[in-house]
Amino acid sequence: MAETQIEYVYSGDPTFAVNFNLGYIDRSHITARVNFATDGGGDPVYANFVWVDNSNITITDPLVNGDDILIERTVPKDALVVEFSSGDNVTSSNLDKQALQGLMTYEELIDGRVGDNSPLIAAEEAKAAAVVAAASAAEAEADALLTAADVVATNADVVSTNADVVLTGADVDATNADVLLTNADVVLTNADAVSTGNDVTATNADAAATAADVVLTAADVVLTAADVVDAEAAKAAAAATLIEFETHYLGPYAADPTLDNEGGALAAGALYWNTVGVKMRVYDGTVWNDTVTNNTVLKNPTQTIYDTAGSGTYVPPVDCTAIDVMALGGGGGGGDSDGQGADTAAAAGSGGGGASALKRIANPAASYSYTVGALGAGAISAGTAGSAGGDSLFSDGGSIALVGTGGLGGAGDTGSTSSGTHTNGTAIVLATGGDINIPGQSTATAPMGDFNTSHFRAWSYPRGGDSPYGAGGGTLGTSGQRDGVDGAGHGSGGSGGVSVETTSNSTGGDGTPGLIIIKEYYGTEI
């Protein structure tokens, strides 16, 4: 059964399955012929068809019941279907295509469809040296055949000479009438020979032609031997190429193989696709290693973000070789202002921003514990301070302990009749445990506006502390009651309340929760 050809007989349905054992690499490698049609030069004439799907084609040329349909798969043999360049990623898909090209070429060879001038086979001629030696022996045999042909030609001359002797005997017979009458057929035949020398010449020409035929036959034998040598060379080259490829690319495995696909020892430079780690690995002669080019990562970094207050366990992804961790504490809440009536003002302090700890960790542990700091709540009782933001933590339980400290809450304030500064802002908080520790942003004091005769004409209060991932709450206001504004994003503080010429208290704004960001790298560290 042919591996690269499928034959059908048309019976009314022009759709035919393309179901080769190894499938096909590209649709352009598939052709169809009707009744083995050829042109005047003997070259195949191909039918027109369209693809129904990846497994079926429909011939669009007119067909008659009983037509022989031949579908063939022919892979390129003058170029590789996949060519790798320096720095390219080696993928299982491209390696499979490369292997399939060799296997499909071998199947075409088995089916007798590969010529002796294939560039892919020619590239392996060095590996067929033994077969080429056999070709030399075949040429020697051909020379012997040519020598034999010369002998035949010489014998033909002898035959021609004997014919002359027979003709002379015919002349003698011609003088003997009794013999002529007794053996009329012989006499007549010899008389024809006697009557003209042309027949003798013709006989000799026939003998010469026979000798020439012998020479041509010998030449044909030589060509046949050469063809056999070329076919054997191609077969040996294809088999050698396949074995060489399978020795170095082993295919997909869930774990590091200990033997090659032939059951032999692993060769240095052998490759396989790790289906668990989703990566290529290479054997260095002793151990398996991940494939790395120019000391760069194998794939783009990934990222894990925890942005909701609470605790949990972080597990690095498979094959992760380094992580960058940023732990940001929660922002503090703003204080409450307590109004004291006419000609008074109160401005509570705003919450501070959380501190940040940053660290790179090579060869990560199996797991880490983490906590995202909660927001600091704004004060709601007259003249009280806001709450501090929660600390964000990242730890392996040993040497790794990042602490992004939460921002402090803003102080409360009780109204008075004096202009100027009424409350202090929060103090700076510090992070610990990181390669870089960024302090949380404090807030300024709360300035009061211009006091004119008996009234404050204007006032302001400071924004809550900002963070790398959030903006503190804050605004300007006019006389009356103004509650503090919540922070935005992560790790920012809420602003304090303000009460101007009122007996009401104004609540503080809430801070925002902390944040943990983990960036994951693969392969060799940058």
Q: Would you write out the chain's pLDDT as a tens digit for each of its 526 residues?
A: 688 999 999 999 999 999 998 999 999 999 999 999 999 888 999 999 999 999 999 999 999 999 999 999 999 988 888 877 765 667 888 888 888 888 898 888 888 887 544 444 444 444 444 544 555 665 666 566 556 556 544 554 544 455 454 445 445 444 444 433 444 444 344 444 444 444 444 444 454 445 445 444 544 544 565 666 677 777 777 777 777 777 778 889 999 999 988 888 998 888 999 998 888 889 989 999 887 544 444 567 899 999 999 999 999 998 899 999 999 999 999 999 888 887 777 888 899 999 999 999 999 999 999 999 999 999 999 889 999 999 999 999 999 999 999 999 998 888 776 555 555 567 789 999 999 999 998 876 555 554 444 455 445 566 889 999 999 987 655 556 788 899 999 999 999 888 877 888 989 999 999 999 999 998 764 4
327-366 b/e (C-beta count within 10 Å ≥ 16 → b) = bbbbbbbbbbbbbbeeebbbbbbbbbbbbbbbbebeebee
CA angle 179, 183, 187 (to 5 degrees): 85
Does residue 99 belong to any structural domain of this protein?
no
Task: Determine the structural domain holding residue 379 and report its residue range.
Answer: 303-522
Does residue 459 belong to any structural domain of this protein?
yes
Q: What is the pLDDT of residue 225?
A: 59
Which amino acid makes up residue 154? T
Q: Could you give the CA distance from residue 4 to residue 65 in angstroms, rounded to a whole number?
A: 24
- Token pair recorded at residue 436: 């870089």
Q: Could you give the CA distance from residue 74 to residue 4 in angstroms, rounded to a whole number?
A: 7
Side by side, which strands form the sheet with 302-306?
302-306, 515-522, 320-328, 356-362, 436-438
- Token pair recorded at residue 451: 């006091």
Q: What is the pLDDT of residue 378?
A: 94
Whether 269 and 321 share a structural domain: no
Using the 3D structure, point to which of 58, 86, 114 is the last residue of a domain: 86
Question: What is the H or E stretch that residue 343 is in?
Answer: strand 341-347
Whether 209 and 308 share a structural domain: no
Q: Could you give the CA distance from residue 511 to residue 328 in angstroms, rounded to a whole number?
A: 13
Using the 3D structure, point to which of 248, 282, 315 is the last residue of a domain: 248
Does residue 308 belong to any structural domain of this protein?
yes
Secondary structure (3-state) at 517: strand
- How far, in Å, are 2, 376, 441, 485 from residue 379 at the CA level? 86, 9, 20, 12
DSSP line for 186-215: HHHHHHHHHH-SHHHHHHHHHHHHHHHHHH
Does residue 23 belong to any structural domain of this protein?
yes
Whether 243 and 258 share a structural domain: no
Whether 328 and 467 share a structural domain: yes
Task: Catalogue the E-assigned strands of 427-497.
Answer: 436-438, 446-447, 451-452, 455-456, 459-460, 469-471, 476-477, 480-482, 488-490
Q: What is the pLDDT of residue 193?
A: 41
Whether 167 and 244 share a structural domain: yes
Question: What is the H or E stretch that residue 248 is in?
Answer: helix 198-248
Q: Could you give the CA distance from residue 132 to residue 143 in angstroms, rounded to a whole number?
A: 17
Q: Could you give the CA distance from residue 14 to residue 62 in angstroms, rounded to a whole number?
A: 9
Whether 344 and 445 share a structural domain: yes
Least Cα distance to 307 among 353, 378, 368, 370 occurs for: 370
Least Cα distance to 152 among 220, 217, 211, 213 occurs for: 211
Whether 71 and 135 share a structural domain: no
Residue 57, C-beta contacts closer than 8 angstroms, at least 6 positions apart: 15, 16, 18, 30, 32, 49, 50, 51, 71
pTM: 0.47
Does residue 95 belong to any structural domain of this protein?
no
Cβ 498 vs Cβ 477: under 8 Å? yes
Does residue 351 belong to any structural domain of this protein?
yes
Q: Could you give the CA distance from residue 76 to residue 81 in angstroms, rounded to a whole number?
A: 7
Percent helix, percent strand, percent coil in the chain, to nearest 5: 30, 25, 45
Q: Could you give the CA distance from residue 410 to residue 427 in angstroms, rounded to a whole number?
A: 9
Whether 48 and 133 share a structural domain: no
Whether 344 and 424 share a structural domain: yes
Whether 378 and 275 share a structural domain: no
Using the 3D structure, point to which of 216, 231, 248 is the last residue of a domain: 248
Q: What is the pLDDT of residue 77?
A: 86
Cβ 509 vs Cβ 495: under 8 Å? yes
Question: What is the H or E stretch that residue 53 is in?
Answer: strand 49-53
Which amino acid makes up residue 215? V
Whether 491 and 391 share a structural domain: yes
DSSP line for 272-299: EEETTTTEEEEE-SSSEEE--STT-BSS
When divided into structural domains, the chain yields a total of: 4
Q: What is the pLDDT of residue 481?
A: 73
Question: What is the H or E stretch that residue 361 is in?
Answer: strand 356-362
Whether 240 and 339 share a structural domain: no
Does residue 96 belong to any structural domain of this protein?
no
Does residue 210 belong to any structural domain of this protein?
yes
Cβ 121 vs Cβ 240: under 8 Å? no
Cβ 363 vs Cβ 439: under 8 Å? no
Secondary structure (3-state) at 349: coil
